[in-house]
A = this chain, B = another copy of it.
Amino acid sequence: MAALQATGQLLWSCDMLCDGVDFRSQEHTWYDIGRKAAGASLSDCAAMASRPTAMLCSVCLQESMSEDDALELLRGVHDMGAQFECLLAGGDTNSWPHPSVIDVAIASSIPEGRQAVLRSGARPGDVIYVSGLLGGSILGRHLRFTPRVRLGLQIAEHLQPHAMIDISDGLALDLWRICEASVCGAVLIAEQIDAVIHPDARRLAKQTGRPPREHALFDGEDFELLVVLGSDAPQGSVAQLDLHRIGDIVAAPETFALRDSAGRIHPLEARGWEHFR
């Protein structure tokens, strides 16, 4: 059990990772797996523009794991947190004969005078941005990303974002979540999406035979921020924070689409990585 000295609003979330689903212990090091487990929870904090404080890590480890493996896993969780002055404060350790499961619960706080950034504040006329290149993270980036904690705080400080989410389940699905929570629609611009396709998406496209743009739209675990700003957001700060414009929020909740370079509108599927689907 961990003790936190808390004042004001404390945010609190958790993220569970499973062997064979979110990582592969046969391929990945336990250190990297620990970093990913902490990173996914830290990324949730980034999306709320909150400052991470402490983590608890619960694990159920496959019995075949050595104590060294378990320590490497915890070292990864610890080190990833330490990058953001977020303490690994406790947890629960279990073992069983099945693949390993890791849950990281994280507490974070909103800097004084500010509020948490939610998914629900997007408004018609707002502009949609993304903090980096997308797609093909499965080729390795999903395990070696830096959660956008500092960027999330900077965006909140300089840009008064209307809504924010981290792209964990894919651009289209996570954007759809913002639209659903905000009761509005969105139109992405094909050329603007093409400008944020990650080289990994192009490499992966050669393996899958699918267009690179599809990987940018529907792959998960980019852990970039999807940011919705008012149309009057200061473009100097937008450029300084290296945000890439990718589309617009529109009034009609039933509009969820991609506009091609000829101005044609194509419906966009709200799909990505989803459990129970």
Instruction: Spell out A's residues near B (CB within 8 Å).
Output: 1-16, 18, 20-22, 44, 48, 54, 56, 58-60, 67, 70, 89-96, 98-99, 101, 103, 105, 107, 116, 275-276
A30 to chain B, nearest CB (A): 15
Contact across chains for A4 and B12 when beta carbons are under 8 A apart: yes
With contacts A56-B105, A276-B67 taken as known, whether A12 is within 8 angstroms of B18 at the C-beta atoms is no
A201 to chain B, nearest CB (A): 25
| Chain B hits for A93, CB < 8 A | 275-276
When chains A and B are docked, how far (Å) is the Cα of A22 from the Cα of B96?
A: 10
Contact across chains for A12 and B3 when beta carbons are under 8 A apart: yes
* A119 to chain B: closest residue by CB: B1
The 5 lowest CB-CB distance pairs between A and B, nearest first, are: A6-B6, A105-B105, A1-B13, A16-B58, A103-B103
When chains A and B are docked, how far (Å) is the Cα of A5 from the Cα of B243?
A: 32
Contact across chains for B7 and A58 when beta carbons are under 8 A apart: no
Contact across chains for A14 and B275 when beta carbons are under 8 A apart: no
A189 to chain B, nearest CB (A): 30
* A4 to chain B: closest residue by CB: B10
Contact across chains for A16 and B92 when beta carbons are under 8 A apart: yes
Contact across chains for A13 and B7 when beta carbons are under 8 A apart: no
When chains A and B are docked, how far (Å) is the Cα of A70 from the Cα of B16?
A: 16
A98's contact among B7, B10, B16, B99, by CB below 8 Å, is which? B99
When chains A and B are docked, how far (Å) is the Cα of A108 from the Cα of B20?
A: 34
A49 to chain B, nearest CB (A): 12
Contact across chains for A103 and B14 when beta carbons are under 8 A apart: yes
